[in-house]
Chain A
Amino acid sequence: MKVLENLKYTKEHEWLKVEGNTATFGITDYAQNMLGGIVYVELPDEDDELEKGENFAVIESVKAATDIIAPVDGTVLEVNEDLDDSPENMNEDAFGAWMVKIELSDASQLDEFMDAEAYKVFCEKEE
Chain B
Amino acid sequence: MSLKHTPIYEAHMSAKGQMVDFAGYELPIQYIGITEEHEAVRNKVGLFDVSHMGEVEVKGPQALDFVQNLVSNNVKKLVDNQVLYTVMCYENGTVVDDLLVYRFTNDYFYLVINAANVDKDYEWMTKQAENFDVDLSNISNQVAQLALQGPLAQEVLQEMVDFNLSEIEFFHCKRNGKINGVEALISRTGYTGEDGFEIYLDNKDAINIWNQLVDKGVQPIGLGARDTLRFEACLPLYGHEISDQINPLEAGLSMFVKLDNDDFIGKEALVEIKAQGTKRKLVGLEISKGIAREGYEVIADDQVIGHITTGYKSPTVGKSIALALIDKSYGEMGNDVLVQVRKKQIPATIISKRFYKKNYKK
Contact = CB atoms under 8 A, between A and B. Distances in A.
A60 interface: yes
Contacts of A42: 290, 342
A93 to B, nearest CB: 17
Nearest to B312: A62
Interface in A18-77: 36-37, 39-40, 42, 58, 60, 62-65
A99 to B, nearest CB: 16
A37 B33 contact: yes
B44 interface: no
A37 B224 CA distance: 12
A112 B342 CA distance: 30
Interface residues of B, number: 16
Contacts of A40: 289-291, 313, 320
Given A37-B34, A37-B35, A39-B291, A62 B315 contact: yes
A29 to B, nearest CB: 15
Given A36-B34, A37-B34, A39-B291, A63 B224 contact: yes
Contacts of B315: 62
A65 B320 CA distance: 14
A77 to B, nearest CB: 22
B313 A39 contact: yes
B144 interface: no
B86 interface: no
A102 to B, nearest CB: 20
Contacts of B33: 36-37
A42 B344 CA distance: 11
B291 A63 contact: no
A18 B33 CA distance: 33
Nearest to A36: B33
A36 to B, nearest CB: 6
A58 to B, nearest CB: 7
Interface in B1-60: 29-30, 33-35
Contacts of A36: 30, 33-35, 224
Nearest to B228: A62
Nearest to A34: B18
Contacts of B267: none
B281 interface: no
B290 A60 contact: yes
Contact of B34 (A58, A60, A63): A63
A61 to B, nearest CB: 8
A62 B35 contact: yes
Interface string B187-207: 000000000000000000000
A65 B293 contact: yes
A37 to B, nearest CB: 4
A39 B315 CA distance: 10
B224 A58 contact: no
A87 to B, nearest CB: 9
Interface in B303-362: 312-313, 315, 320, 342
28 contacts: A36-B30, A36-B33, A36-B34, A36-B35, A36-B224, A37-B34, A37-B35, A39-B291, A39-B313, A40-B290, A40-B291, A40-B313, A40-B320, A42-B342, A60-B291, A62-B34, A62-B35, A62-B224, A62-B228, A62-B312, A62-B313, A62-B315, A63-B29, A63-B30, A63-B34, A63-B224, A64-B293, A65-B291
Given A39-B291, A42-B290, 15 more contacts: A36-B30, A36-B33, A36-B34, A37-B33, A39-B313, A40-B290, A42-B342, A60-B291, A60-B313, A62-B34, A62-B35, A62-B224, A62-B228, A62-B312, A62-B315
